[in-house]
């Protein structure tokens, strides 16, 4: 248990569906992150939120829509996905996501395994 939970753990959706991934951190951290890990590829950073404000969007297609209502919760809303979007989606949090030097470690959730059919 890392203190970061993700639901659902597995999701199968059609290309016309709309679904949401949820992440919650119980660590009192200020920053939260979404990563994507496709099969046999390195993790790719998608979004960064710091104190509920989006500070990084790594050229992610608009069919992925993040939402951060507070520092403890992060959502990834999915719509009209493509089969190539099938991947493991990981959420992470860190103490002080201010882009400052003196780096903090990130704590990852278990991920949501998404399959788009």
Partner 1 sequence: DAKTTQPTSMDCAEGRAANLPCNHSTISGNEYVYWYRQIHSQGPQYIIHGLKNNETNEMASLIITEDRKSSTLILPHATLRDTAVYYCIVRVNDYKLSFGAGTTVTVRA
- DSSP letter for 104, please: -
State the nearest-atom distance from the C-beta of 74 to partner 1, in Å.
Answer: 14
> Could you say which residues in the range 36-95 bind partner 1, by CB under 8 A?
42-43, 45, 48, 55-56, 88, 90, 92, 94-95
Neighbour-count burial for 2-30, b at 16+ CB within 10 Å, e otherwise: eebebeeeebebeeeeebebbbbbeeebb
**Pairing verdict, β 107-108 and 87-94:** antiparallel
Nearer to partner 1, 34 or 64 (CB): 34
Interaction between residue 25 and partner 1 (CB under 8 A): no
For binding to partner 1 (CB under 8 A), which residues are involved?
2, 4, 31, 33, 42-43, 45, 48, 55-56, 88, 90, 92, 94-111, 113
């Amino acid at each position: 248990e890392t203190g970061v939970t993700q639901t659902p753990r597995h999701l199968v959706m059609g290309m016309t569906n709309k679904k949401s991934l949820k992440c919650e951190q119980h660590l009192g951290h200020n920053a939260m992150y979404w990563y994507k890990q496709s099969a046999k590829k390195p993790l790719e950073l998608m979004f960064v939120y710091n104190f509920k404000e989006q500070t990084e969007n790594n050229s992610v297609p608009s069919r992925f829509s993040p939402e951060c209502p507070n520092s403890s919760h992060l959502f990834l809303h999915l719509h009209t996905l493509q089969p190539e979007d099938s991947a493991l989606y990981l959420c992470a949090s860190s103490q002080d996501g201010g882009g400052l030097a003196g780096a903090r470690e990130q704590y990852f959730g278990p991920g949501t395994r998404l399959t788009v059919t």
